Amino acid sequence: MAYDLIPADVRSRLKDLRLTARRAIGTQGIGLHHSRSRGAGLEFAQYRAYEPGDELRQIDWKLYARSDRFFVREAERESPLTVWIMLDATASMAQGDGTRGTRFDAARALVACIAELALRQGDRFGLLVLHGGGVRLVAPGNGARQRDQLLLALHGLHASGMFPAVDTLAPVFERIGAGDLVLALSDWFDDAMLALAERLASARREVLAIQLLTTEERDFPFNGGHRFRDPESGEELLGDAAALRGDYLQRFADAQRALDARLDASGIRHARYVMDQPLDLPLRRLFGARDAAEYA
């Protein structure tokens, strides 16, 4: 059960990814906290001789050129993160994409990937699910048992309903601490979801956003007469697809630029995922993998 959501090829590529936070030093209690452990962190500590199994990217090639020996750069690692995965489970996330399943299927698989990365790093991770009934919470923890508990919660989830009312969102603000990392997964079509992310960012929480889109939303490949229905409001539009295509694509591009601008203005790093792309692509874009362009 614990591995069903992550395809084998994606699981293999996760091995060279690390969840990292940009913790700013300030007066609000958000700072860098270092442990005494050594690893591939941010602050350089020392060199040591290369050992089988070390990642090649940790080798100092300039030092090799001078000494003709392999040395690995070690660093002091930041103390473990607490990673919150905030998942939009409203009705629009149930949008299907042909044989690829639904947007929510992809979101659940991404949640599993994030949990796997946090597990490998020894970080704490928890889940906040936003749905019509309010907020469902899996409290943060670490280890394989925590991972399995989170995946069990995902197994019983379905996307439905409207975005939760503001007065039901208290657990989001009560539980996310100043040094925590928040990864928010949504289609970002609901302004209330964006407002929530902006509010967290304004409270000096580090928020990262992943937008999930279907290929049909990106390409509008329809022809002939179609009935388009909003899954949350129930509003419908009946029209000729060919006649609607140009206007739709322009409006969609404008909406995407507006979303990017608001996220940028709040200091929220963000990545877009379309369902014909590799599942790990948005994680590579967010966490600076050099090979992200290969999968675009």
The separation between CA 280 and the C-alpha centre of its own chain, rounded to angstroms, equals 10
Instruction: Determine contact, residues 85/111, Cβ cutoff 8 Å.
Output: yes
Residue 136, helix vs strand vs coil: strand
Q: How far is CA 47 from CA 36, 50, 112, 294, in A?
A: 15, 9, 34, 31
- pLDDT at residue 54, rounded to an integer: 63
Q: What is the mean pLDDT of each run of 10 residues along the chain (296 residues)?
A: 78 91 45 40 59 69 78 62 96 93 97 96 96 93 94 92 94 94 97 97 96 95 77 72 88 96 97 97 85 52
Both structure tokens of 98: 């042909």
Q: Burial level of 90, CB count in 10 A (0-12/13-18/19+)?
A: buried
Q: What are phi and psi of 20, to 5 degrees?
A: -130, 150
Which of 217, 224, 253 has its CA nearest to residue 241?
A: 224
Looking at the domain covering 81-295, what would its CATH class be?
alpha beta
- What was the pLDDT predicted at 22? 78
Residue range(s) of every CATH 3.40.50.410 domain in the chain: 81-295
pLDDT value at residue 229? 72
Can you tell me the distance from the alpha carbon of 102 to that of 216, in angstroms, rounded to the nearest whole number?
Answer: 12
